[in-house]
Structure 1
Amino acid sequence: MSFSVSGVHHIAIICSDYQRSKTFYHQLLGFKVLHETYRKERDSYKLDLAVDDHTQIELFSFPGAPERPSFPEAQGLRHLAFKTSKLDETVDYLKKQSIPVEAIRLDEITGKRFTFFQDPDGLPLELYEE
């Protein structure tokens, strides 16, 4: 028997302001809401969003969740990367939504273009050109 996977099912994110993050991921980035649950016993929301036909983001709210430092070279999750075939168009869209985007760079290994922006809690998000 061996370890066998066929892809990434979901990425779980705990946010500091549920409504602000829901607006960002659903309305600004356009990820489709699959299911939203309020768990009264935890005073917590869980929002399932479709990134594409295969990958989801689970957005959680937990009252009093501690902050996590998010520095580019800190240990732990470095960033979440989304692939796009329309990098320039997507960057222009984000800028029109008043979302700061770094300058587009070139991956010296793959020759592909990419850039970074952040979610409302400072989580680094990457756009990587297919």
Structure 2
Amino acid sequence: HQPPSGYAAKFSMPFCMAVAFYEGDAGLAQFTDEKAKDVRVLALARRISYIIDPDNEYPRNYSGHIRVTLKNGQVVERRQPHMRGGMHEPLSDADIVAKFFANAAHGGWSRPQAEALLSFCQDLGEQPDLAGLARFRH
């Protein structure tokens, strides 16, 4: 519930759920050492518990189920029958490009550098060889 680092936070289900609640994402930017100390996220993480469903299809299928009990006692539940981005619900081209740019930014690349590499990769079939990749060394 209180991971000591951004790396450890990736493996804390309460932290993952809390940071996604506040930030709308649980990507690379959400797992920094600074975010792992965010008092607002940690306060919510302390209120999250989970159990592992013995009938879950993992690892054959990555499904999910969440049940939230609101302050007024109302219970809200959602089920996800499979993982977004998997074979049952592949990412769109736009989602893949957005993920590419997020990964590039996390790695310290500028937007123009990432755009140039993306363009090179999208035109890979037109390249005479892979020698052009050398210009993208970071």
**With CA pairs under 8 Å and 6+ residues apart, which has the higher RCO, 1 or 2?**
1
TM-score by length of 1: 0.23
Structure having the higher helix fraction is: 2
Q: Which has the larger radius of gyration?
A: 2
If the length of structure 2 is used for normalisation, what is the TM-score? 0.22
